[in-house]
Amino acid sequence: MLTAQIIMLLTLLVMILGRAPLYITATIGSTLAAIAAGFPLIGKDPNSIGKLLVSAMNPD
């Protein structure tokens, strides 16, 4: 869990410093943090990485 928090901190720093587009940085950073936290990549679990990305692209 500490690794996921460090990844999120680094993502926020990149966003604050303006080194990359915000939307891409947020999507990639949250995906990496979720993987580090142990979220499943695919599956029927509502908290899977696949569903995270789909909801990020289409927030309906």
Kindly tell me if the per-residue pLDDT of 60 is higher than 70.
no
Mean pLDDT of the chain: 86
**What average pLDDT does the segment 36-41 reach?**
89
CB 11 within 8 A of CB 25: yes
Task: Look at residue 57 in the predicted model and tell me its pLDDT.
Answer: 80
Task: Determine the pLDDT at residue 9.
Answer: 92
Residue 29, Cβ density class (10 Å: 0-12 exposed, 13-18 middle, ≥19 buried): buried
